[in-house]
Each structure stands twice: as structure tokens, then as C-alpha cells.
Amino acid sequence: MALIVHKYGGTSMGSTERIRSVAQRVAKWVHAGHQMVVVPSAMSGETNRLLGLAKELMPNATTPEAMRELDAIAATGEQVSVGLLALALQAQGVSAVSYGGWQVPLETDSAFTKARITRIDDRRVRADLAAGRVVIITGFQGIDAEGNVTTLGRGGSDTSAVAVAAALKAAECLIYTDVDGVYTTDPRIVPEARRLSTISFEEMLEMASLGSKVLQIRSVEFAGKYRVPTRVLSSFTPHDIPIDEEAVSGTLITFEEDEKMEQAVVAGIAFNRDEAKISVIGVPDRPGIAYALLGPVAEANIDVDVIIQNVSHDGRTDFSFTVHRNDYARTMELLKAKILPAVGAADVRGDARICKVSIVGIGMKSHVGVAARMFQTLSSEGINIQMITTSEIKTSVVLDEKYMELAVRALHKAFGLEEPKAAG
């Protein structure tokens, strides 16, 4: 008997029929003798619907008091789904109880719409488990020190599940979704993408942070920090498949660099359209200029990602960087109103039609020429690279967004990701 956490995403919880199937799957695990905690998302489309209603009344809800209400609204999606799942289990004769994050309580800081989990009180959950109940906890949300409901950011149910698994020292956290694991890239963009049976924690962290929305990045951080055995698998297999088969399906995140593991130079390709590029033109090229431009941006709590400074001509240079698209308008305003006059730059230009495409793999640590192959592949497709950034295990390029799918497909092919990898 083990304590297991299951997480079911929006599509997996998308209708009462799907919820019944989730309940049947969970019941199978209960009947096999396991203690079960289940963390569901809202029914698919529900969080978007709720935030859409909010937007009709306030298109730009950016003040703390408005963001508090956004969280109160968005959190209701999961509150419905936990109750429905508890009923579906009870209807099958399985004792189950549902809790909102605030009832556990799952405590967070007060950063509305992107709160961080600070502590999980496991007493209530443990008492229910000891009494033989399945415990169902809302994904995506918690409560801050002042008693406000908070949410963890889009896709945050993954993080709730892994954090709950860490707090309860669960034997495993199974993330059930609408694909049967983590693929070399999003199978919706490249149908030839291949499922990885394992992926190293470091690679999964990069894939998630660079845009693979299959797992929210903070869930991967929790998995790493607390060494939670975490597996991504499908909720669309027949609910009565043998448990032994189900338990080894999907993709396992691994923490050891194992010789026998799939070792490719590039494990996967991530991409996103979440950023916008800003170029400051004609900046005086003198010491301290990067700080003069980006210091006030950081003070406004805006994260800067890729940065590039051009060679200077006649004592002036161009300076470009990317920010999240949600922060684009705010950053442009800040630059125009305050920063440009202060540094004496000539102009600022913005481009929100960019994408970032990244190759990720721990094998890149020990192989040279990987980035060059990436640049060559893009060049032979006639794709212009606007910015480049690298780390030990990834290379990212910023491109015109119209080339995103072409770039991902070409790179997937160039790095042989469709081919089965040789063992050893």
C-alpha cells in the first residue's frame, strides 16, 4: 500500500462523463490498496470563461485589489470540479471528501494570480486518509496569511499536485493529461514527435520554462526540490487497464544521470509566443547604460529575458531585450515616459510578433557544434535569427513568429528526434 497523488487536467475533467471515468480510475487504485489524494483542474474552458467574464467588467485588472477578485473568481472553477469528483466517487461506493485549498489549508504568499505555495498543513488530509477516504483537493489555489484566496498562475494545478505530494511524502505523483507523456516537442505542432519514456529533471525544467506547457514550471521545481517521483501519463487510456501497466506508462522525470537512460544530444524542442521584443535605438555607449535601461524595468517588477547589445557606431549603440507580452505595453510606456529621456536614447521600437524556439538537452554539455547545427538548419530554411541566448543545456533563438512552426519542424528533423534513440 502506498500514498499516491493523482492530478487530472481540464480535458480529463471536461464533462460529467469524463469525471465518472476519472472516478473509476481512482477507485481502481483504491481497490488495489492505495491511499489516494486527487488534485483536479477546473473543467476545460472554465478558467478562460471565468476570466472572460471578469474582463467584460474590467478589461485591465492590474491593481492588487482587482487581482484579488480575479483570483476569487478563477478559483471557483476547481471548487466545482472537486465536488463533482467526490460525488462521482461516492456514487461508486468509494468514500471521498473534497476541500478547497483554503480548507486544507494550502498557504501561499499574496502575489495574486501568481502566488507561491509557502506551507501545506497535512493534518486534515492525513486524518481523512487514515479514515479510509479519498481526499480531493482543488488545484491551482490556496490562501494567503490574510485569508484571501489566491491562485498559482495558469496551469497551476500541476504545482498544487506536486506540492501536495511533497508535503505528504507521497510515493509518486501521477499527472494525468490529454497526451500520453512528455514528447520531443508539442505533438500538436509536430505529429512525428516521439514520447520520451524518461526525461531528466534538468531537461524537464528547461522545457517547461521555455514554453512546453505540458507541466507548469513550478511543479518541476517542486519535484526537484523535494525529489518527488513524478510521471506524466494519459487519462484517455481505458480506466480499467491493469494498474501495473498504467503505473509504468507515460514519462517519468528522473533525477539521476543514468547511463542506460535515453541519452540524446537534444532531448526536445520548446517554443513560445509569450514574449515581445523591445529595441532602444541610439543609446549613448557608456558604462552603466544596461543598468540605466533595465534597472527601472526590474524595479517595476518586469522580468527581462533575452538581452542583446549591438556594436556601437559613433558612440551610440542599439539595445534590445524581451519581456513577457503581458508586460509589453507597460514596459513601452515606462521607456517612453521615463527611461529614454533619462538616458538620452533616440527612439524605442517594439515588436510583439516574435517567438522563441529552443533546443534542450543535457547531452549538449559534452557536445560541440550543436548550436551551429541549429543556426545552419534555420538558415537553410531562410529563417532570420533576431536574438540568441544559450546555457549549458539549451540554445534559444528569437524569430519572427510566422516562422515558428517551420522552425520547430525543421529542427525536430535536423536533430533526428523522430528516430528511435540507440540504447546506451
Whichever of 155 and 268 has its CB closer to ligand ASP, that residue is: 155
Instruction: Select the binding partner of residue 149 from ligand ADP, ligand ASP, Mg ion, none (C-beta < 5 to 8 A, by kind).
Output: none
User: In which element (H, E) is residue 201 found?
Assistant: helix 201-209
139 binds, among ligand ADP, Mg ion, ligand ASP, none (CB under 5 to 8 A by kind): ligand ASP
At residue 5, the 3 state secondary structure works out as: strand
- Would you count residue 157 as binding ligand ASP (CB under 6 A)? yes
Picked from Mg ion, ligand ADP, ligand ASP, none, the partner binding residue 11 (CB below 5 to 8 A depending on kind) is ligand ADP
Can you spell out the DSSP letters for 209-251? HTT-TTS-HHHHHHHHHTT--EEEEES-S-TTS-HHHHHT-SE
Cβ 267 to ligand ADP, closest distance in Å? 10
Q: Is 101 in the site for Mg ion (CB under 5 A)?
A: no
Contact 352, 328 (CB under 8 A): yes
Give the whole-angstrom CA distance, residue 4 versus residue 172. Answer: 5
DSSP structure class, residue 183: B
Q: Which of 216/320 has CB closer to Mg ion?
A: 216
CB 360 within 8 A of CB 269: yes
Q: How far is the CB of 312 from ligand ADP (least distance, A)?
A: 40
Among ligand ADP, Mg ion, ligand ASP, none, the one that 188 touches (CB under a kind-dependent 5 to 8 A) is ligand ADP
- How would you classify residue 23: left for phi > 0, otherwise alpha for psi between -120 and 50, otherwise beta? alpha
Binding-site ranges for ligand ADP (CB under 6 A) = 9-12, 41, 155, 177-179, 182-183, 185-186, 188, 212-214, 268
Q: Binds 47, which of ligand ADP, Mg ion, ligand ASP, none (CB < 5 to 8 A, cut-off by type)?
A: ligand ASP
**71: partner contacted, choices ligand ASP, ligand ADP, Mg ion, none (Cβ within 5-8 A by kind):** none
Instruction: Enumerate residues 6+ apart whose C-beta is below 8 A from 130.
Output: none
Distance (Å) of CA 48 to CA 10, 38, 42, 52, 75 = 11, 22, 10, 6, 11
Residue 47 interacting with ligand ASP (CB under 6 A): yes
Q: What is the contact mask toward Mg ion in residues 140 to 159, using x (rule: CB under 5 A)?
A: ---------------x----
Rounded to 5°, angle at Cα 119 from 118 and 122: 160
139 near ligand ASP (CB under 6 A): yes
Q: Which three cell numbers stand for residue 180?
A: 500520453
* Residue 282 in contact with ligand ASP, rule: CB under 6 A: no
Query: Which residues form the interface with ligand ASP (CB under 6 A)?
Result: 9-10, 41-42, 47, 77, 139-140, 154-158
Query: Which residues form the interface with Mg ion (CB under 5 A)?
Result: 9, 155
